[in-house]
């Protein structure tokens, strides 16, 4: 039963692939960018990517992205912050993040 909870937790770690100009640039160096859960650490991100995509992960770097200060009709507000992970795969492996499941 604990294995099911662990697998369920791994699937909750990766939220979505992050697609941007920079993420397209780092893909050339076998690196992929994902939005991850705020409480995720490097070990869980690595385990989640390896389990979901059946690849070997070389390294993981995590970044906290701060939310921007915005205003709407002269009322100040703030967008939510989020966490992203740069995942480097071992040589010769790749992930198709644009494919729909």
Per residue of the chain (101 residues), give pLDDT as tens: 445 557 778 888 999 999 999 999 999 999 999 999 999 999 999 999 999 999 999 999 999 999 999 999 899 999 999 999 999 999 999 888 777 65
Query: For residue 100, is it within any domain?
Result: no
* Host domain of residue 75: 2-89
Query: For residue 96, is it within any domain?
Result: no
Query: For residue 8, is it within any domain?
Result: yes
Query: For residue 94, is it within any domain?
Result: no
- What is the pTM (predicted TM-score) of this model? 0.85
Q: How far apart are the first and last CA of the chain?
A: 26
Q: How many domains are there within the chain? A: 1
Query: For residue 7, is it within any domain?
Result: yes
Tell me the C-alpha distance between 22 and 25, whole Å: 5
Query: For residue 68, is it within any domain?
Result: yes
């Amino acid at each position: 039963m604990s294995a099911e909870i662990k697998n369920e937790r791994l699937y909750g770690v990766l939220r979505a692939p992050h697609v941007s100009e920079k993420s397209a640039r780092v893909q050339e160096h076998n690196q992929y960018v994902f939005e991850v859960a705020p409480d995720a650490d490097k070990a869980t991100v690595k385990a989640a990517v390896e389990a979901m995509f059946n690849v070997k992960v070389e390294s993981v770097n995590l970044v906290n992205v701060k939310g921007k200060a915005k205003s709407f009709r002269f009322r100040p507000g703030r967008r939510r912050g989020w966490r992203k992970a740069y995942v480097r795969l071992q040589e010769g492996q790749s992930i198709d993040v644009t494919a729909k499941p």
